[in-house]
Amino acid sequence: MKKKIYFVYISLSGNTQSFVQRLTTFLQFQSNLEIEQVHVKDLVKQNLPFYEVDAPFVSFLPTYLEAGNGIDNGDVEIITMPLSEFIAYGDNASKCLGIVGSGNRNFNNQYCLTAKQYAQRFGFPVLDNFELRGMQNDIERVGRKIMELME
């Protein structure tokens, strides 16, 4: 029997969406997981209500922060808040296995900072991170971690 898992993500310029799609394809070949993608931006755009997921999920979150240094300023999240609202909806947070952050290393201390903030706020782990669209080795590493979590 296939085990169901959701990938809950938000993507503004398409990088995270590309990663989630390639990861889904990888896991469809390599695992027995049935993956359902939830792009929170689409729910918001189509005015669809948030809902409680009926299986575990992994979140994928790019970093969009106000300019700063990520230490004493520059940790204010912009644009991606709907993902946190979906996670906070009903009992969803308790089903989150962890979060995969994405970003750009040029942002130094702000690199993937929002994923770390979500992990602290909701009490789930940061599973991994990747830059921009992610490379094939990122896909395989994250994919293997998810397979282990679902064993």
Ligand X SMILES: Cc1cc2nc3c(=O)[nH]c(=O)nc-3n(C[C@H](O)[C@H](O)[C@H](O)COP(=O)(O)O)c2cc1C
- Rounded to whole angstroms, the Cα distance separating 10 from 12 reads 7
Burial of residue 72, with CB atoms counted within 10 A of its CB: 0-12 exposed, 13-18 middle, 19 or more buried? exposed
Q: How many of the chain's residues bind ligand X (CB under 6 A)?
A: 19
Smallest gap from Cβ 3 to ligand X, in A, equals: 26
What letter does residue 34 receive in the DSSP assignment?
Answer: E
Give the one residue of 5, 7, 15, 99 binding ligand X; rule: CB under 6 A: 15
Binding mask 16-55 for ligand X (x = CB under 6 A): xx--------------------------------------
Q: Of the candidates 31, 92, 102, 117, which one interacts with ligand X according to CB under 6 A?
A: 102
Minimum distance, C-beta of residue 149 to ligand X, in the bound complex (Å): 22
Select the span of 10-18, 26-34, 50-58, 82-90 touching ligand X (CB under 6 A).
10-18
Which residue(s) pair with 126 in the sheet?
99
Window 53-72: residues binding ligand X (CB under 6 A): 62-65
Number of residues assigned to the chain: 151
> HSE on the CB side for 3, CA within 13 Å?
13
Q: 21 by DSSP, 3-state: which?
A: helix
